[in-house]
Amino acid sequence: MPFSTSVLSAAPASYATPLLAIAVPAGGLPASLAAVDAATGGALGRVYASGDFTGKKDEQVLVHPAGPIARVLLVGVGKAEEAGRTLIRRAAASAAKRARVLGVPTFAFHLPREAAGSVSAREAGQVIAEGLGYGAWHYPDLKQPPEEKKPALESAVILAPEATAEVEAGHLVGAAIAAGQAYTRLLQMLPGNTCTPGYLAQQAGELVRRHGFKGIVMDLAAIKAEKMGGLLGVAQGSAEEPKFIVLEYQGGSGAPIVLIGKGITFDTGGISIKPADKMEDMKFDMSGAASVLGTFEMLGRLKPKVNVVGLVPCAENMPSGTALKPGDVIRSHLGKTIEIVNTDAEGRLILCDALSYARKFKPACVIDAATLTGAVVVALGHFASGLMGTDDALVEEVRQAGERAGERGWPLPLWDEYRDLIKSDIADMKNSGGRPAGSISAGWFLREFVSGYPWVHVDIAGTAYSDREDAARVKGPTGNCMRLFAEFVLGRSA
Ligand code: BES
Ligand code: MN
Ligand code: ZN
């Protein structure tokens, strides 16, 4: 059963639950928790008084008072004046993660007003729902028998005795985003032999059935008919047929926002093969695709007044007797010729065809998400995605959407000088500019295929997955860019 959340106007002191999680600020026990403290026989006050717990970010303490509340979990959000959407979302995630590990089937979460900082009740409802879903998520394991013996965490109740309607309104949005995010992470996590281009195409079909979107999936023959030479080139070394997914959500009037996601279901590097170390992580090379599909799950649930098109080129990058070779020249969907100098620079080859295909929709703007370059990890590490684009105002709008989503991005320059990096002697461009400014030369490559609309590229190679567990999450897929997409499209909805 999928994890679900709801909002209740009940006061935390009188709500019977196996686990009451409370997000608390640094300093001391907030005054509004006096009744809960009394209901626990003063246990909460003693926690602060002991000095064992100070309310710092990520700090947790679990107490077992006598009475109707079996357990109270205090989760620190840090200084109240610094509390923002990100820290509140994170506190909810860390509470849900702990609840899951404890094995309770359900729990209650409460954010006292003293811990909310400047975050409104509505925003709190949204980010708490997102965070609860984030922390409750875990990957489906394939162990026999299953390692998880504890009962699954099925639900959480947000206790909001004040401004309940506002919290509820935010929760509606947050719950839809949480569902999209969980779906994105599931798709990311699936092994490459399950999550093939055909599988993603099937998933797109289910989204269409579930939510009544318009949608088509182009198969090999249709992709050939469209002359998508980049996508065909990458796919030609694999036994898996490429797919090109087109989804259309029509909820408003006006030109659509086009979202594009890189759907390389496994990236071996092709003939320019990658080293074996950590190659298994390249099942995550479809994370951009997963964030687009997750955004459509959100759109189907929330039905905002906005038009969105999703374009997802899908292929597997393999070495074989039929694979693309360094030195080959291919012709893209737009007609530009590309000299292949490194078959591991495959993401840009499938994205360029999607960028030129996007013109057909006369987009208001186009945003693509792609695990595109190792270089962006060198530049920004795991705390920000790389942003590049043709329009500074749009880059800033995307950055701010990411800020609201708790998925940071940071701009990298697409200055003219960098264009030289991808100059080819024999074709319109080559597909790799080598090591210097590797993320920017990839951005420049994409830019060559952008015409007639403002565009932003989000390089999520450093943010899409993590090999570290922390208070808020298990290691593995982060779903990064799904919430950014959601904030962006909701920010443009009427
Ligand atoms: N999928 C990789 C980028 C990547 C690297 C994603 C690390 C996640 C973590 C991409 O297809 C790739 O191989 N890029 C090359 C480009 C180079 C050949 C110009 C890279 O970054 O090395
Ligand atoms: Mn590659
Ligand atoms: Zn790749």
Q: What is the pLDDT of residues 446-477, one digit of tens each?
A: 999 999 999 999 999 999 999 999 999 999 99
Q: What is the mean pLDDT of residues 222-237?
A: 99
Q: Which tens digit of pLDDT belongs to each residue from 379-427?
A: 999 999 999 999 999 999 999 999 999 999 999 999 999 999 999 999 9
> Closest Cα partner for 111 from 99, 97, 98, 93?
93
Q: Burial of 31 by CB count in 10 Å (0-12 exposed, 13-18 middle, 19+ buried)?
A: exposed
pLDDT above 80: residue 1: no
Share of the chain above pLDDT 90, in %: 94
Q: How far is the CA of 374 from the centre of ligand 1 (A)?
A: 5
Whether 126 and 213 share a structural domain: no
Whether 77 and 126 share a structural domain: yes
| Choice from 287, 373, 378, 480 to test ligand 1 binding pocket (greatest atom count within 8 A of CB) | 373
Whether 193 and 309 share a structural domain: yes
pLDDT above 80: residue 148: no
Q: How confident is the model at residue 163 (pLDDT cuts 50, 70, 90)?
A: very high
Say what the pLDDT of residue 460 is. Answer: 99
Pocket of ligand 1 (CB under 6 A): 267, 285, 342, 344-347, 371-375, 432, 438, 461
Say what the pLDDT of residue 83 is. Answer: 83
Whether 124 and 211 share a structural domain: no
Number of domains in the chain: 2
Specify if 169 maps to a domain. no
Element (H, E) at 401: helix 392-405
Specify if 10 maps to a domain. yes
Specify if 130 maps to a domain. yes
| Average pLDDT value for the chain | 97
Q: Where are the strands (E) in 397-466, listed by range?
A: 409-411, 429-430, 455-459, 465-466
Element (H, E) at 174: helix 164-189
Q: How confident is the model at residue 203 (pLDDT cuts 50, 70, 90)?
A: very high
Say what the pLDDT of residue 82 is. Answer: 84
Q: What is the mean pLDDT of residues 265-280?
A: 98
Q: Are strands 243-250 and 307-317 parallel, antiparallel or unpaired?
A: antiparallel
Whether 126 and 255 share a structural domain: no
Whether 151 and 261 share a structural domain: no
Whether 119 and 191 share a structural domain: no
Say what the pLDDT of residue 74 is. Answer: 98
- Which residues does residue 108 pair with via DSSP β-bridges, in sequence order? 20, 157
The rounded distance, in Å, linking the Cα atoms of 486 and 296 is 9
Q: Residues with Cβ within 5 Å of ion ligand 2?
A: 267, 344, 346
What is the number of the ligand 1 atom nearest to the C-alpha of 433?
19
Whether 90 and 187 share a structural domain: no
Domain boundary among 126, 160, 194: 160
Q: How far is the CA of 273 from the centre of ligand 2 (A)?
A: 9
Say what the pLDDT of residue 122 is. Answer: 98
pLDDT above 90: residue 149: no
Say what the pLDDT of residue 190 is. Answer: 98
Whether 101 and 37 share a structural domain: yes
The rounded distance, in Å, linking the Cα atoms of 232 and 228 is 6
Question: What residue numbers bound the domain in which 119 lies?
Answer: 4-160
Specify if 291 maps to a domain. yes
Q: What is the domain-level CATH number for residue 117?
A: 3.40.220.10
Q: How far is the CA of 373 from the centre of ligand 1 (A)?
A: 4
Whether 186 and 145 share a structural domain: no
Tell me how many degrees the CA angle 98-102-104 measures, rounded to the nearest 5: 105
Per the annotation, the verdict on 274 as an active-site residue is yes
Specify if 59 maps to a domain. yes
- Catalytic residue, chosen from 90, 262, 348, 404, is 348
Whether 143 and 287 share a structural domain: no
Its pTM stands at 0.98
Q: How far is the CA of 372 from the centre of ligand 2 (A)?
A: 7
- Catalytic residue, chosen from 274, 331, 336, 419, is 274
Say what the pLDDT of residue 142 is. Answer: 87
Residue pair 330/324 in contact (Cβ under 8 Å)? The answer is: yes
Say what the pLDDT of residue 330 is. Answer: 98
Whether 42 and 8 share a structural domain: yes
Residue pair 264/350 in contact (Cβ under 8 Å)? The answer is: yes
